Chains A and B, each alone.
Chain A
């Protein structure tokens, strides 16, 4: 073991960019910096290197475990998270965990919550989780039902923008122009179509549920704070977390955090909170970047930057989406940018 005192300690890992630095004040530390953290998803699982979902889920559930003093049940939709955490007889889950089907996690969680309520276990809380396919596509009906009934469940969507578990197919959360196995980068309009989009956090808000938030693995402290806040609220809650997938996005395994950060700082993935259907807080962009830098980090957008010519139209269209978000959510303080 090296003598810590003889090593110069670098303090650059502080502030909002930090990942659980124990040198910060107690209040500013992340759950992961605590020695008695729950490790809800313990190490040894089979996620890929640089998996954003593994990271997001671990921080989210550790925060939820701390908020509930370990009185937590997790329900999981089919997907990467389910598969890589339970190569039975091994399991990463340090809490009671139930996987039923791909499209029914919200309903199963409703059932768990109902059983706990009828059994007088008010202290035990329920988290349901799924990927973007399980949430925005196949589980959408059940999720809307759960919201409408305002069942006492926190639903977390880990959004990596495609069906990664089955080999990177398009979902309704796949961004325009992105190459997937079912939206090949060939033909006149390579990659995914420019549709109208399906913004699930806004759809969740339209149900007027008590709490909706977006979060990113680029800002884990913010993610934990939102989960903690959600766990203190009764009724249906929804957190949509952007989790880059190095495999599906064709980004470097060590670039998961940086690519996630560029998604936030370009305005493509706005971070916000809403209560009872009303927007209550927006995380301002501190250093605005253009979408091009974000897109360039990912092979799924490589065809936009082909050697025989850049697809400026598509890049501009994606930039327009980011600009629209910036305006719509007020992601930049007018004062500081003028």
Chain B
């Protein structure tokens, strides 16, 4: 059914269609509307047979989810930013225990400085926790990925994070196709856990594992991800059969045929990138893009196939690995190992900085002439940072950096 709806609300609807049995809620912007939505659906009786639990922290939210999932319930929660970090220990634990929890991340920056706006620092920090990580390009895909996520998680007994850009997607009203309950029921079989706390068949879950077996357990965690590499496209095609549209998969290619420059990115910025590509293609530029949907597992082979014939790759990424550069770019380079191809890292959209078509086009044009440095920050105010670097060098007690930059920006606006 087509409907004009807020992204968060739509995800709540999608989650409800998956008939979760336990949902844990703790507020953090910009994810909050999702759990509010699920809570409302439980309260008004549209989502039956579901325990909606308001907890006291994100750490508790995922911990409750761990208990519920281990006891055989289909379990869901959502978080963002500091919340994901606060539950970090449980994030690793859920994956280590092999519990098929589905969790939405409303992607948001991590402080300090405190910042509620969108980037990918939060989910990137948990990229190696053993969860499958899917990034939605649009709200339709976010909605669809949740339905796929439960099936994926439960088939592999591995938790799945569905990452959607905070505000840009979570708070945007768009035209969305909400599937019918009948179709979702046909697509998503009932949860049959591989392990469950059952007094009639008691066993211990979560025992200590020593050096004699730990490597093997971790090997299997990697193997689960490799299985996901096969299963994600399979589930995507089954999804298409049932619902009639493409969603999910490992990567999406756009105009990559004969492209000399290929842009790689995760999430909603791909929409803007496509608009820029259309504009540049009209002017004869050989440019295309690849949107990575599955960041964990990372589709090394698929990405190599998509990129290997290009002359250069530009990675637009909303996360920064201080001291290294780009997180996604490093992974892309891994996909291109043995292939001599420049991979430019463009850090963009940090803490909600607007990524405009104009700026992207400038960067892509510079890349087309190989005029880009290895690492660039899109729309960086060079004067502001240079000024602060000099000032901090001159004065020992130079004060808090964030506040200094803000003051500079304010002074710049009202000189």
Residues of chain A having any CB pair with chain B under 8 Å: 70-73, 75-76, 82-83, 86-88, 91, 93-101, 103-104, 107-119, 124, 141-142, 144-145, 148-149
- Evaluate contact between A72 and B64: CB separation under 8 angstroms: no
Partner of A88, one of B22, B56, B207: B207
User: Are the CB atoms of B60 and A142 closer together than 8 Å?
Assistant: yes
Q: Which residues in B have their C-beta under 8 angstroms from that of A91?
A: 203-204, 207
Contact of B90 among A73, A88, A100 (CB under 8 A): A100
B22 / chain A contacts, CB cutoff of 8 Å: 111, 114-115, 118
Give complex CA distance A206, B5 in Å. Answer: 44
Residues B205 and A104 in contact, CB atoms below 8 Å apart: no
B74 to chain A, nearest CB (A): 9
Q: List A contacts of B197 (CB < 8 A).
A: 73, 96-98, 112
A267 to chain B, nearest CB (A): 34
B41 at the interface (CB under 8 A from A): no
Listed stretches B32-40, B45-53, B249-257, B387-395; interface member? B45-53
- Is the beta-carbon distance between A97 and B202 smaller than 8 angstroms? yes
Q: List 21 A-B contacts (CB under 8 A).
A: A86-B204, A95-B202, A96-B204, A100-B67, A100-B206, A101-B89, A104-B59, A107-B60, A107-B63, A110-B53, A110-B60, A111-B63, A111-B65, A112-B67, A114-B73, A115-B71, A118-B22, A119-B72, A119-B73, A141-B56, A145-B55
Q: CA–CA, A254 to B203, complex, Å?
A: 32
Which of B89, B197, B201 counts the most A-chain CB atoms under 10 A from its CB? B197
B54: Cβ under 8 A from any A Cβ:
yes
Tell me, rounded to whole Å, the shortest Cβ–Cβ distance linking A230 to chain B.
18
Given the interface pairs A70-B199, A145-B57, A149-B54, the reply to whether A82 lies near B208 with Cβ below 8 Å is yes
Q: Which residue of A lies closest to B89 (CB)?
A: A101
B315 to chain A, nearest CB (A): 35
Contact B204 A88 (CB under 8 A): yes
Verify A98–B68 contact, CB threshold 8 A.
no
Instruction: Report B-chain residues with C-beta under 8 Å of the C-beta of A141.
Output: 56-57, 59-60
Looking across the interface, which residue of chain B has its beta carbon closest to that of A40?
B202
B304 within 8 A of A: no
Instruction: Give Cα A41–Cα B53 distance, bound, in whole angstroms.
Output: 31
CB distance from B61 to the nearest CB of A (A): 8
> A87–B72 contact, CB under 8 A?
no
The answer to whether A111 touches B69, judged by C-beta atoms less than 8 angstroms apart, is: yes
Does B209 sit within 8 A of A, measured CB to CB? yes
Chain A residues with CB under 8 Å of B67's CB are 75, 98, 100, 107-115
CA distance A12 to B157 in the complex (A): 56
Contacts of B206 in A (CB 8 A): 76, 98-100
Q: Which of B55, B65, B72 has the most A CB atoms < 10 Å from its CB? A: B55
Give B contacts to A, CB under 8 Å.
21-22, 24, 49-51, 53-57, 59-61, 63-73, 75, 89-90, 93, 97, 197-199, 201-209, 213
Chain A residues with Cβ under 8 A from B68's Cβ? 111-112, 114-115
Q: Which of A99, A103, A116, A117 contacts B59 (CB 8 A)?
A: A103
Contacts of A144 in B (CB 8 A): 56
Smallest CB separation, A91 vs chain B (Å):
4
Residues of B within 8 A of A73 (CB): 71, 197, 199
- For A94, what are the chain B residues with a Cβ–Cβ distance below 8 Å? 202
Q: Which of B56, B73, B90 contacts A115 (CB 8 A)?
A: B73
A76 / chain B contacts, CB cutoff of 8 Å = 206
Residue on A nearest B209 in the bound complex, by CB: A88
- Residues of A near B90 (CB, < 8 A) are 100-101, 104
**Which single member of B49, B71, B89, B201 contacts A111 (CB below 8 Å)?**
B71
A97 to B195 CA separation, bound complex (whole angstroms): 12
**Beta-carbon contact of A101 and B93 below 8 Å:** yes
B208 — which chain A residues lie within 8 A by C-beta? 82-83, 86-88
Cβ B93 vs Cβ A114 within 8 A? no
- What separation, in Å, do the CA atoms of A111 and B20 have in the docked complex? 13
> A96 touching B203 by the CB < 8 A rule?
yes
Kindly provide the distance from the CB of B384 to the nearest chain A CB, expressed in whole angstroms: 40
Q: Which residue of chain A lies nearest to B87 when distances are taken between CB atoms in the complex?
A: A104
Complex Cα gap A100–B98 (Å): 12
- What residues of A have a CB within 8 angstroms of the CB of B56 in the complex? 141-142, 144-145, 148
Closest to B52 in A: A114
Please state if B71 and A112 are interface contacts (CB–CB under 8 Å).
yes
Query: A86: which of B24, B207, B213 is its contact (CB, 8 Å)?
Result: B207
Closest Cβ of chain B: how far from A105's Cβ, in Å?
8
Q: Which 4 A-B pairs have the closest CB atoms?
A: A111-B67, A145-B56, A107-B63, A115-B71
